[in-house]
Amino acid sequence: MKQYTIAVLGSHSALDVCRGAKDLGFKTLVIVQKGRDKTYAKYYKSENGLGCVDAVIELDKFSDILTEKVQKELLKRNAIFIPHRSFEVYINDYDAIEKKFKVPIFGNRFLLKCEERGVKPNQYDLLDKAKIRYPKQFKDPKNIDRLVIVKVLEKERGFERAFFLVNDYREYKQYTEHNLKEGLFTQEQLNSAIIEEFILGVQVNFNFFYDSINDRLELIGTDTRRQTSLDGFLKLSAGHQTEVGKFITVKYEEAGHIAVTVLESLLEDAFAIGERFVEATKKLDVPVIGPFGLQTMIIPGPPKKEIIVFDVSPRMPGSPGIFVTPYSGYLFGQNISMGKRVAMEIKLALEKGELDKVLT
């Protein structure tokens, strides 16, 4: 394993990746951006039997990972790169990820762009192919006839979405006109926004791993989100919410995750949805390899509780705490993180001489 280096961008779930790789005997490398290096270069540096980051490459900006110099260094170290959401966001160029990034990637690099809603195939195409239910969408805001959530990219931070809730077209127009003036988003961003039915239920993210060597779907763990300023807002009394809501815009900006379990009676349905998703990626010629997440709402019956998928994450999840949920332990006899599961798959592929099955 020491002949290979597991490399990852210094954000999102890099420590999860590094700890898992280190546990399996791989060398680890984190590519950091200036000013964002201490977590990896100092606090979790491998030293005296502690830490999990063996080496760091510092760049002026994350997108410099595409330069010939950096790629040559990664290839020289025999690196296997693990992509996560921050990698996609900071590179912000799927064509470059697919064609210009010459370092072997664990997983299917051609599936990553399906997370975006403006490409083909996108996550809705995958869900349609898999016959997985997702929230009703409204292409024309004038047709809004129920509570909806509008997902529009922010002007200042193009990777963050300015979620907001409205009941009808009047509320939609009132909210958007105000925030266009405030510069929260542009008209172009608003034109490409997703408007979908707001589902009342329990949010659970099912974090799966598809073992393409053994053709096996595994549930590694489940979690839910902590979001600002939504979490703080919900802790207020109804009266205070009414007053505070006049002066602030509630943000659904991710701050962390909480491990959560589900009823065992829901597991069969969850696995069925995961299996259909895997088959759909194969049919659309973007087969999933390794980790993927289905973000869901669980709604009440009758006739029984139902799982509705509202977002797809076709790569490493951003929730390392999922290993404390029991589902990987039920399978492997001990709880494992997604980072460790990735390293286990790479090790297995090396031992079987089937590295080509897990890399693109």
What are the pLDDT digits (tens) for 168-211? Answer: 999 999 999 988 998 889 999 999 899 999 999 999 999 999 99
- Any idea which residue has 């994450």 for tokens? 313
CATH 3.40.50.20, applies to 5-105:
yes
Alpha carbon distance 102, 71 (integer Å): 7
pLDDT at 282 over 80: yes
Alpha carbon distance 49, 57 (integer Å): 21
| Greater model confidence, 243 or 335 | 335
Tell me how far CA of residue 157 lies from CA of 154, 161, 186, 331, in angstroms: 5, 8, 12, 40
Alpha carbon distance 344, 328 (integer Å): 13
> In DSSP terms, which residues pair with 59 in a beta bridge?
33
Task: Pinpoint the residues of the chain covered by CATH 3.40.50.20.
Answer: 5-105
> In DSSP terms, which residues pair with 47 in a beta bridge?
50
Q: b/e per residue, 43-77, with b = 16+ CB within 10 A?
A: ebbeeeeebbbbbbbbbeebeebeeeeebebbeeb
In CATH terms, the fold of domain 123-132+200-334 is D-amino Acid Aminotransferase; Chain A, domain 1 (3.30.470)
Residue 203 belongs to what H/E stretch? strand 202-211
pLDDT of residue 158: 61
pLDDT at 162 over 80: no
What lies within 8 Å, CB to CB, of 249 at 6+ separation is 164, 179, 184
pLDDT of residue 160: 63
Query: Position 96: which residue type?
Result: A
pLDDT of residue 252: 81
221, 16 Cβ separation under 8 angstroms: no
- Quote the mean pLDDT of the chain: 95
How would you class 334 by CB atoms within 10 Å of its CB: exposed for 0-12, middle for 13-18, buried for 19 or more? exposed
pTM of the model: 0.95
pLDDT of residue 156: 74
Here the tokens at position 235 are: 């802790």
Alpha carbon distance 292, 286 (integer Å): 13
Task: Pinpoint the residues of the chain covered by CATH 3.30.470.20.
Answer: 123-132+200-334
- Any idea which residue has 């797809």 for tokens? 312
Query: Position 5: which residue type?
Result: T
pLDDT of residue 105: 98
pLDDT of residue 83: 98
Percentage above 70 pLDDT, the chain: 99
167, 144 Cβ separation under 8 angstroms: yes
pLDDT at 290 over 70: yes
pLDDT of residue 11: 96
Question: DSSP for 86-135?
Answer: HHHHHH--HHHHHHT--S-BBS-TTTGGGGSSSSSS-HHHHHHHTT----
pLDDT of residue 74: 98
Q: How confident is the model at residue 159 (pLDDT cuts 50, 70, 90)?
A: low
pLDDT at 309 over 70: yes
pLDDT tens string 231-256: 998 899 999 998 988 888 788 888 99
Percentage above 90 pLDDT, the chain: 87
Tell me how far CA of residue 160 lies from CA of 142, 163, 184, 322, in angstroms: 25, 9, 11, 23
Residue 182 belongs to what H/E stretch? helix 169-182
pLDDT at 144 over 90: yes
Average pLDDT over residues 22-44: 97
Alpha carbon distance 131, 186 (integer Å): 34
287, 212 Cβ separation under 8 angstroms: yes
Average pLDDT over residues 72-101: 96
Angle at 158 between CA 154 and CA 164, to 5 degrees: 30
